[in-house]
Amino acid sequence: MKIITAIASIFLLIFSWCWVDLKVGHKRYLKHATNIKYPPRNSNITVFTSGKILFDDYMKEVKQAQDSIHILFYIVKNDKFSKDFLKLLQSKAEEGVEVRLLADWVGSKKMPRQIIQELTKSGVHFSFSFKPKLPFLFYTIQKRNHRKITVIDGKIGYLGGFNIGKEYINQGEKLNPWRDYHLKMTGEGVKDLQEVFLSDWFYDTNEDYRGTPAYFPTLTPGTQAQQFVVTNGSDLEQSLTHIIRQATKKIIIGTPYFIPSETLFQELREALARNVSVTIIVPEISDHALVKEASFPYFRVLIKEGAEIMQFQRGFYHSKVILIDDIMCDIGTANFDKRSCFLNSEINCIVFDRTFIEDVEKELAVDLAESKPLNGDAISNMNLVRSAKESLAAILSPFL
């Protein structure tokens, strides 16, 4: 009995320390972090849903860079595709192009030290983002830079859900094929992407290039209205609440992880109550433990109240897209979960252009055609194992 009490006491002590570390660390970080909703811009935007097509275009633009390449990814892996990508950056740096690569410390932990040394030796400026540090060790381990941003010569920008690794070009052993949404942009919005990258670079390296004229060339306005929402562990919930409230006909959400905050969950229920159609597309297979169990309690309620939950069948569904009627869509890096709302650094692009929205609707129609509806009864039949998994998932949901 004494042993059990001692173990319980140690567990309680560790849990209390983690909780205090997380809360105080988050509060301290938010004092210095900036959440930005940029003014509406006019840009030219292309949406990619195939990693192979995206990266064919992406690598071509990187090869043609003349002055600067600024890249931020959550994940850079240690496979052939990743090594080829890094070798391209090395060759551009050796040509005299300024190359900066920022990679999240947790997401890109598989990058070997030798490769990083080769990058820096060739002239690539490299840094990890959000390295764990004291005094808030647990918080900084949980804090992730989940943004994926590329800016080439200050004129061409990319952002979205794809990372660097073979699975993103459909060469993975398990999660294959990979379905995601990524944007390419020219026009006014590229200036905002450059500002976000340089702000992140400054935070992680203390090297301040914000406002450097060479990185902000004159940009010709595009024809498609868009607006960036940049969040750092707060304000994303508020932004998503705002766009959900605009819906009068339909809401379509594509997300790999559906673990909403209580506020967002209630907003969807209220949308259903005012006769708005709500469709949520999620993967049938999962890439992380307990994420499906964490979503089931929400799905049971939403299905009962009229929502349609669709499970994507053809590979892994990693999209981060929200369509509101035919008036706006939101595509970016944020998942529809608590981690993106309250921990991660994210960037989303809200697009108001009707032609672009029609293109996204066509892609979502493909997603829906490749999906099957989730039967509420199938997740309502509880047993001891499922109940235990859901209980554990509920406790861990802020970190999944």
Percent of the chain with pLDDT strictly greater than 90: 76
Q: Which of 77, 143, 184, 320 is catalytic?
A: 320
Using DSSP's 3-state secondary structure scheme, residue 123 falls into coil
Q: Catalytic residue at 148?
A: yes
pLDDT in tens, 270-326: 999 999 999 999 999 887 778 888 888 999 999 999 999 999 999 999 999 999 999
Using DSSP's 3-state secondary structure scheme, residue 124 falls into coil
Measure the CA angle with vertex 261, ends 257 and 264; round to 5°: 95
Q: Which of 153, 330, 337, 353 is catalytic?
A: 153
pLDDT in tens, 372-400: 999 877 677 767 767 777 667 677 767 76
Two structure tokens written together for 145: 């830079």
Longest dimension (CA), the chain: 73
Count the residues in the chain: 400
pLDDT in tens, 342-373: 999 999 999 999 999 999 999 999 999 999 99
pLDDT in tens, 45-90: 999 999 999 999 999 999 999 999 999 999 999 999 999 999 999 9
Domain range 38-225, its CATH number among 3.30.870.10, 3.40.1280.10, 3.40.47.10, 3.40.50.2000: 3.30.870.10
- The one-letter amino acid code at 380 reads S
Distance CA 109, CA 1 (A): 41
Two structure tokens written together for 178: 């990979």
Q: Which of 92, 146, 182, 184 is catalytic?
A: 146
Q: Which of 67, 325, 359, 389 is catalytic?
A: 325
What global pTM score does this model have?
Answer: 0.94
pLDDT confidence band for 6 (50 / 70 / 90): low
Q: Catalytic residue at 153?
A: yes
CB 35 within 8 A of CB 228: no
pLDDT in tens, 125-176: 999 999 888 887 888 788 999 999 999 999 999 999 999 999 999 998 888 8
Q: What is the dihedral of CA 369, 371, 373, 374, to 10 degrees?
A: -170
Burial class (CB in 10 A: 0-12, 13-18, 19+), 288: exposed
Two structure tokens written together for 343: 């921990």
Q: Which of 70, 92, 143, 148 is catalytic?
A: 148
* Residues 232-399, CATH architecture: 2-Layer Sandwich (3.30)
Distance CA 150, CA 9 (A): 48
Percent of the chain with pLDDT strictly greater than 70: 93
Q: Which of 70, 318, 330, 337 is catalytic?
A: 318
Q: Catalytic residue at 192?
A: no
Q: Catalytic residue at 320?
A: yes
Two structure tokens written together for 41: 């811009």
